[in-house]
Amino acid sequence: MHTFGHPGRDPRTRVVTVAYYALVAAENLAPVPGSDASSTDWWSVYQLPDLAFDHDLILLRALVRLRERIWDSAVASQLMPEKFTLTDLQSTYEVILDRSLDKRNFRKKILSREVIEDTGETWMEGRHRPARLYRFRSESCHT
């Protein structure tokens, strides 16, 4: 994603960090403490605790990169279950973009990109009309 190497970023010594990011659905992860951590926790990128050195800037850079790619690729496919509703997909976009999206405009835009397809199945939640289930087209998940 980016190389961070400002001379003063770690007061102990000169450190260069090559940062990568990966998108993995939360249900596929289990935090494991590293060799220099006694514990680990999950945090919202919008409510981070104080981080060491410039690690907040590294996370911000990853978030900016994700926001740049969200509309022009199928990057969201890495965050969604195999089958999902358009409401679920819109919620994922809204979390990444940190803003609300108009439901009609979102649906029009996402369907026009032809990266998702209707499964022919529905999902019933509450007393509302059943929602259609979608999935990412297999060829779109590699972009």
Domain residue limits, the chain: 1-29+47-69, 81-143
The pLDDT score that the predictor gives to residue 100 is 98
Task: Report how far residue 103's alpha carbon sits from residue 123's, in angstroms, rounded to the nearest whole number.
Answer: 18
Of 3.40.190.10, 1.10.10.10, 3.50.50.60, 3.90.1150.10, the CATH number of 81-143 is: 1.10.10.10
Task: Report how far residue 33's alpha carbon sits from residue 134's, in angstroms, rounded to the nearest whole number.
Answer: 36
| Residue 133 CB partners (closer than 8 Å, separation 6+) | 83, 84, 85, 118, 119, 121, 122, 123
pTM of the model: 0.80
The pLDDT score that the predictor gives to residue 86 is 96
3-state secondary structure 29-71: CCCCCCCCCCCCCCCCCCCCCCCCCCHHHHHHHHHHHHHHHCC
Q: Write the DSSP symbol of residue 141.
A: G
Task: Report how far residue 46's alpha carbon sits from residue 38's, in angstroms, rounded to the nearest whole number.
Answer: 23
Consecutive sets of 10 residues in the chain, 143 residues long: mean pLDDT of each?
89 91 76 64 89 92 94 87 95 96 97 94 86 88 52
| Phi, psi angle pair for 18, to nearest 5° | -105, 115
